Amino acid sequence: MADRPRFFDDLAGVAGGAFSALAGAREEVSALIRTRVDEVLASLNLVRREEFDVVRDLATRARIGQEDAEARLAALESRITALEQPHTPQNHYGA
């Protein structure tokens, strides 16, 4: 009877070691898969979401700047056109 509890203790120890080994193997496999997926994504020349968002924000700001510049240019062109109109002097003597 004295061997029986020791047997179960040994069995529990082996099972605990096996679970620890499986957990370590699981983490290692996950790390390998993550690494492999990153390699595949890098080879496909894909961009990460963060990079895409930054470029999209830059493009939005550039578009707004371009629209502002176009509006200013149109205003300047209309002022130039107005200044280039032939100026007819007015006669103040009623003639």
Q: Looking at residue 10, what is its pLDDT?
A: 75
Query: pLDDT, tens digit, for every residue of 23-73?
Result: 888 889 999 999 999 888 788 888 889 999 999 999 999 999 999 999 999
pLDDT at position 13, please? Answer: 79
At residue 89, does pLDDT exceed 80?
no
Between 90 and 22, residue with greater pLDDT:
22
Q: Residue 56: its pLDDT value, please?
A: 97
The candidate with the shortest Cα–Cα distance to 42, out of 53, 32, 34, is: 34
The three-class DSSP label of residue 14 is helix
Span between the terminal Cα atoms of the chain, in Å: 138
